Chain A
């Protein structure tokens, strides 16, 4: 049995109220977390990982769960994404591969995007982490070293294992953020930043409002390939999403996840192809994508294998969008 540590739960009714709450906590220097579906945050809390004094729930704010071809709200449930008719098939297919149906019924798009990074030195109970004398990501004030790559005290290499991010990148999504300092938006490609601790560009007090897609997104065909040991429950050990508007090589987008601390857009490798994309280019592109990533040993499968599999996943994903 695991006991949930105590925290104060807040239920703002509007986005503005949420931002005000956040601003108040910031001003009082009180720590807080956002919670959407809670399927990632609450298990971590039970493990006493980064427990905050306050938790602000977005569940009671109406209008955050929109689902359409061009806009998906942060509170849209993953389960709803898999069954909705007007959502891009790539999103539906990627969402259907997340965790289990029970978890998908509660988990949300926003929560999946902002998923905390994972590492088997970190996602453990307090007793366990004490026995390794903590780690860089959760050092409990001890200034502990990273346990994955010792003797470097500057970078957290915990792995980002969200499933949806590469698909959102491949569909050229734009992410909309709001906080005490007002709203802003940026391409999903630019949302994720730096290491396993910072994870993304969200400033304190900010949260994800929605993701929007370009006008022509419906023309895109996409494919997401996920590597995992079991067909249910498991986080991706590697994931590659690709998409293009058939016949238009310049529209090709490829992104990967679960390999490094942030999901990656592989625009550089795609651009290196030049202006053409056909069956013959697949091996070269897959190889280039594989070479560009550097997984570390902190998930269930060894990094060398995961890296090699990126080639296979990319190949299969690209073949699928080519209709091969």
Chain B
């Protein structure tokens, strides 16, 4: 590199004038780019480099395929999110911060009726109002859309009929908000009011006018949108149980309660392309839906994802108001902004389904779990949204982490005339998980064994298959249970505390990325793609479509690229806002982003790494195998003095090419069974968690306060421990809301009574317990550097942990969520009455006298601990499928070994009589079987 950088070739440093004056075109100039803010290379951080590649980072769960790309730069270090400065200084631009020149304001006319046909809409008075620039109704956009291709049942605005109070009827754009609001009062609409359905149980019955019509697949003339039946295992095992639990649950609907109400700005640019600014979790689906509804090709639409002020699943559907803004803007020829009030946020909803869940569980004489029998009737509200998937998740996500003798699930989702339910953090898994974990607690009590030991002796090991065929890889469940047990001093507290004080356990299991993309063939196209571009200055621009909704996906991508290239994180610039510049990404749902997107980013970064190492090879003469990347420098392994700077290698690599560009993609491996619905719940990895919660119950008022939580979550590898802890604590808060105070109240007339944040009671800081986050690292073989999800799974265990703790405190099992004081008080009153009218303060506290089974369980738990360790560290690579605990041979199909082994997705006629609430949906035939629509 003698001579350094020159403006023109051929000149040498000798031509610099001795008097210091410049020779035109001949002066030296410094290399472009600083290569970082520190002048010298930092020493290698051996504490952050795994043992397997010569570092000091302990790896109790074994080595990982990505270990050799670890440079000790970023992975595993607590980092503030890269967009945190923009957020704390108020410079992040959320949906409502977008201001375009000449913008006008859109407002939506909403249905005052629960269920009604629109006979006519007269907009003439609206159009005549001075200041109104555009008016649109359902007739302007007749094409349907929906987040799932199988259930496209939404319109931009009501076509033919409205399905709930608050459903979109028409919209108007005017010069200002006051004019737009005035205009809403001028629509003249003729309604034909229909009989609404609010109770999901009524939705199972035949109706004169079902809320939607599915043609030949419509179940009778009911409001059943989706029904699921699944049966696996040996049903004969549930006979003669040693312990059993039968619980009927009522869970209210809850809403995400994100901070930022929906807001959208649409603008047709001078070239006639649509620029749409929206806080979306899943910009790509919105992109597709916009194309369908507006009848404009996708390449003529640019979806710009603004900063998202919280999503939690509530901003993952394509929304009708996004279509409305685009339609109004097209008509008016000016940018249109639509902002929601909080009430409108509740009307668009997509929160957790109100559910009726029934769980029957049995355990055999060795305290093995011989059967789970789950029935889930979920209230979908007016539209399908993600409901097709939710219907499956309510059952199938309960098939782990325990080994089951048999599993039986009936689920049904019905339409009602209420705002649509959808996906919410912990999608579909939360309610049944709570029911199942409480059932385990009850069985443990019947058998007089410790509920933690009961769990420890029934866990599926790492590298195994669940009863429904899910492929479990890494599994940190056991460690999570052990660590919360120690952390909480469980053995000294459980069943030993005075009345009103309780402690409880709950576990969780969740997908780390939905294994099958919703919209395309997973065998051909990747789930996630990341592009990396590096120009002369050395800064690394990463293009990804992953939507950062506050969970830190941008930071995760920056971190892994920084780690692979050994560059400080401030040199990594992530661009993810525009569909014009981002590769397609499926969006932020099903906890897929870190797993899939970071994997894609690692692959793209590896490509760049190879190019840099090859350049260094050329310059140094040492093969890349003996070169080390560390902090903006590449050097010979055995003599760090022999090396080149990152910039020198970069510029060498750029010779004759210019910018370095690479692309990386991730596609999940093929997996899962072939039965109907086998794809639901498939994921390349699963997260596990265990929480212990401590509560105080005021026995006179029924007020429950959660005081302490020990929260262990297996996230594979914490890329950013600070972000993981944030997710755990945030999940606790959100889950506590559902278990203690949050509910969407539909009153006597079916109206949502509390569409505001005063009456929809999200816990305040006073209700927040002290949370001790515990990170368990099981090093997932396919995760980026071993990482799995940490965004949704941590929510699951807090619900059952609190419900079980309340039982420990007062000896009353409550199966109604949320545990508002009136619900708890009612249960306490019933108990005191049944005990002869004793005072609440004299309630007997439950106590535990270990039975002989306890020793069996402890012994089996210890034995399994060794089994799990060997499997985790690949010392034992034999096959393991659910059923081995019951004595089956994992290498032969279970159907061949057990007479009664079943794998069914439809009930046989003799089963129909004994099905639960949701199972009743199977009593009806589909239209095509009835000779109706064909």
Interface residues of A (CB under 8 A from B): 1-3, 6, 120-121, 124-125, 127-128, 130-132, 147, 227, 229-235, 300-302, 304-305, 308-309, 312
Q: For residue A4, which residue of chain B has the nearest CB?
A: B178
From known contacts A229-B820, A233-B764, A305-B826, infer whether A125 and B343 are also in contact, taking CB-CB under 8 Å: yes
A227 partner residues in chain B, CB cutoff 8 A: 701, 821
With a cutoff of 8 Å between Cβ atoms, the chain B residues found around residue A131 in the complex are: 111-113, 165-166, 751
Asked if B233 CB lies within 8 Å of chain A CBs, one says no
Could you list 17 further interchain pairs (A-B, Cβ under 8 angstroms) beyond the known A229-B821, A232-B766?
A: A1-B96, A1-B340, A3-B178, A120-B745, A120-B754, A124-B343, A125-B341, A128-B165, A128-B755, A227-B821, A230-B764, A232-B765, A233-B764, A234-B758, A300-B761, A305-B821, A312-B700
Question: Min CB distance, A307 to chain B, in Å?
Answer: 11
Contact with A along B758-799 (1 / 0, CB 8 A): 110101111100000000000000000000000000000000
Interface status of B909 (Cβ within 8 A of chain A): no
Are A120 and B765 touching (Cβ within 8 A)? no
Q: Nearest chain B CB to A315's CB is how many angstroms away?
A: 8
How close is A128's CB to chain B, nearest CB, in angstroms? 6
Contacts of B741 in A (CB 8 A): 229-230
Q: How far is the CA of A102 from the CA of B210 in the complex (A)?
A: 48
A-B contact count (CB 8 A): 80
B622 within 8 A of partner (CB):
no
Known: A128-B751, A131-B165. A1 touches B820 (CB 8 A): no
Does the CB pair A230–B181 fall under 8 Å? no
A3 and B177 contact, CB distance less than 8 A: yes
B309 CB to closest chain A CB (Å) equals 13
B697 CB to closest chain A CB (Å) equals 14
Taking CB atoms, residues of chain B closer than 8 Å to A230 are 741, 761, 763-764, 766-767
- Cβ contacts under 8 Å, A232 to chain B: 764-766
Q: Which 4 A/B pairs are nearest by Cβ-Cβ distance?
A: A231-B766, A305-B822, A131-B112, A232-B764
Q: Is the CB of B341 within 8 A of A2?
A: yes
B816 to chain A, nearest CB (A): 13
Are the CB atoms of B701 and A312 closer together than 8 Å? yes
Beta-carbon contact of A301 and B96 below 8 Å: no
In the bound complex, what is the Cα–Cα distance between A128 and B741 (angstroms)? Answer: 23
Interface size counted on chain B using CB atoms at 8 A: 39
Residues in chain B near residue A302, CB distance under 8 A: 822
- Measured between alpha carbons, how far is A121 from B751 in the docked complex, in Å? 10
10 contacts between A and B (CB under 8 A): A1-B339, A127-B110, A128-B165, A128-B751, A131-B751, A227-B821, A230-B763, A230-B767, A232-B766, A233-B764
The answer to whether B825 has its CB under 8 Å from any CB of chain A is: yes
Q: Which residues of B contact A147 (CB under 8 A)?
A: 749
CB of B341 within 8 A of CB of A1, answer: yes
Q: Cα distance A147–B745 when bound, in Å?
A: 16
- A99 to B, closest residue via Cβ: B758
Query: Which of B112, B767, B821 is A301 in contact with, Cβ under 8 Å?
Result: B821
Given the complex, which residues of A lie within 8 Å of B761, measured CB to CB?
Answer: 229-230, 234, 300
With a cutoff of 8 Å between Cβ atoms, the chain A residues found around residue B165 in the complex are: 128, 131
Interface flag for B747 (CB, 8 Å): yes
The CA-CA distance from A233 to B761 in the complex, in Å, is 10
> Who on chain A is nearest to B747 by CB?
A120
Q: Are A305 and B825 in contact (CB under 8 A)?
A: yes
Most interface-central of B110, B341, B763, B822 (chain A CB within 10 A): B822
Contact B261 A1 (CB under 8 A): yes
CA distance A132 to B111 in the complex (A): 11
Q: Which residue of A lies closest to B184 (CB)?
A: A127
* Contact status A120-B753, CB under 8 Å: yes
Q: Which residues of A contact B340 (CB under 8 A)?
A: 1
| Nearest CB on A from B695, distance (A) | 15
| Complex Cα spacing A227 to B822, Å | 11
Is B821 touching A233 in the complex (CB atoms < 8 A)? no
Give complex CA distance A305, B751 in Å.
Answer: 22
CB distance from B116 to the nearest CB of A (A): 11
Residues 90-102 of chain B: 1 if any A CB is under 8 Å from the residue's CB, otherwise 0? 0000001000000
Q: How far is the CB of B81 from chain A (nearest CB, A)?
A: 27
Contacts of A132 in B (CB 8 A): 749, 751
Output the least CB separation between A12 and chain B (Å). 28
| B contact residues around A124 at 8 Å (CB) | 343, 755
Is A128 in contact with B343, judged by CB distance below 8 angstroms?
A: yes
Residue of B339, B749, B759 ringed by the most chain A CB atoms within 10 A: B759
Contacts of A231 in B (CB 8 A): 764, 766-767
Residues of A within 8 A of B765 (CB): 232
In whole angstroms, what is the CA distance A230 to B751 when docked?
Answer: 24
Closest partner residue, chain A, to B742 (CB atom): A229
Q: How far is the CB of B506 from chain A (nearest CB, A)?
A: 22
B718-769 contacts to A (CB < 8 Å): 741, 745, 747, 749, 751, 753-755, 758-759, 761, 763-767
Nearest CB in chain B: distance from A68 CB, A: 31
Find chain B residues with CB under 8 A from A121 CB: 753
For the complex, give the distance between the alpha carbons of A176 and B822 in Å: 39
Interface bits B688-709 vs A (CB < 8 Å: 1, else 0): 0000000000001110000000
